[in-house]
A = this chain, B = another copy of it.
Amino acid sequence: MSLEIDVDHTRGSFRISARFSAAPGLTALFGRSGSGKSTLVDIVGGLVKPDRGRVAIDGQVLVDTERNVFVPKHLRRIGYVFQDSRLFPHLSVRRNLLYGRWFNRQVGAASADLASVVDLLGIGHLLERQPASLSGGERQRVAIGRALLAHPQVLLMDEPLASLDEARRAEILPYIERLRDEAGLPILYVSHSVAEVARLATTVVILTEGKVTAVGPVADILSQADSGDGGSVLDAQVARHDEPFQLTVLTSRAGELQVPRLNAPVGASVRAYIRGRDVMLSLKPPEEISALNVLAGRVVAVVPDKNGGQAEVRLDCNGDALAARLTAKSVQRLGLAPGLPVYAVIKSVSFERS
């Protein structure tokens, strides 16, 4: 979303001091509990006025303490999904969903929107209910709907999917992707799930105790994330669909990938996220094995973990970076060292379904 942030703020004994700029698209905020993610989102949303600093989205300055600029939140045209859902208890689900429409009605097809959003979130049967009678997940889904229906120019999502089951997440994720890609909506997204971040983020920002410790494109950052689940992102194109087997064949510099059927047209650019723990390494091309994806590459580096039991093996597959997480024992057994040619074996089902 071309988000520029440079702020300092103190809340009690907690001090946030963040400075970064993010490319257009979805910016994921990643960090441990209490690291200041919600505070930062609140600053962008206009709920918290930073002690000092500047916030701009797509060049539009929202906050600039030096020039005394502070755009009030109701003029920022944001859709904010709060960590606590904050539904209006006196309004029915329907009226909660339509609340934002009272104020931003320049977009026409809002009623069509309601239907599709309600459908996506599976909350059609809840429309006439009061929020107090909803389950935790239902509440959060309504909150997501309410933010989407406000026709925002920026979407702020603070752990929107944390209380949802996997099936529901799998339905909502592609929708967020579409918002990012088709509607070009800038999104600031907080999540504890690497898979979600990997799939959605353009830029990842890692917060540690109020400070930005890493920022950059998702592919560069995720493997550094202190999450026990580093991974790689390959840029690829849809080459063809294999309808009988419901597979999609992607081509990337690293080679051909067969993944579960994607809902994208041939030729489309997609991103494949490969977890380090899903990658096996073999010294010769494996035969008669179930995995459909074998990428040839060369070891670039072997990075042992702090505690020594495991290591990340970084490969160069024809220019694409790929990381594998192995036990130290396998590293020794296979004699992995920079320069060694290897084959990365990846199951098709490892890829997230969409």
Q: How long is the Cα–Cα vector from A290 to B324 in the complex, in angstroms?
A: 10
Partner of A33 from the list B168, B258, B325, B330 (CB cut-off 8 Å) is B168
Task: Determine if A309 and B245 form an interchain contact, defined as CB atoms under 8 angstroms apart.
Answer: yes
With A280-B280, A286-B282 known as contacts, the answer to whether A165 contacts B33 (CB < 8 A) is yes
Task: Determine if A33 and B324 form an interchain contact, defined as CB atoms under 8 angstroms apart.
Answer: no
Task: Determine if B310 and A260 form an interchain contact, defined as CB atoms under 8 angstroms apart.
Answer: yes
A263 to chain B, nearest CB (A): 13
> Is A281 part of the contact surface with B, judged by Cβ < 8 Å?
yes
Task: Determine if B330 and A290 form an interchain contact, defined as CB atoms under 8 angstroms apart.
Answer: yes
Within 8 A of B (CB), among A116-164: 129, 133-138, 141, 158-159, 162-164
Task: Determine if A32 and B282 form an interchain contact, defined as CB atoms under 8 angstroms apart.
Answer: no
> Is A328 part of the contact surface with B, judged by Cβ < 8 Å?
yes
With A163-B162, A280-B280, A329-B242 known as contacts, the answer to whether A33 contacts B228 (CB < 8 A) is no
Task: Determine if A349 and B326 form an interchain contact, defined as CB atoms under 8 angstroms apart.
Answer: yes
> Is A59 part of the contact surface with B, judged by Cβ < 8 Å?
no
Task: Determine if B83 and A32 form an interchain contact, defined as CB atoms under 8 angstroms apart.
Answer: no
A211 to chain B, nearest CB (A): 16
Complex A-B: 15 CB contacts under 8 Å: A11-B133, A33-B137, A33-B163, A34-B137, A165-B227, A167-B227, A170-B228, A242-B329, A245-B332, A246-B328, A247-B329, A280-B347, A283-B289, A291-B330, A327-B348
Q: Which 10 A-B pairs have the closest CB atoms?
A: A33-B137, A246-B309, A283-B288, A245-B329, A290-B330, A281-B290, A83-B136, A282-B289, A327-B348, A165-B192
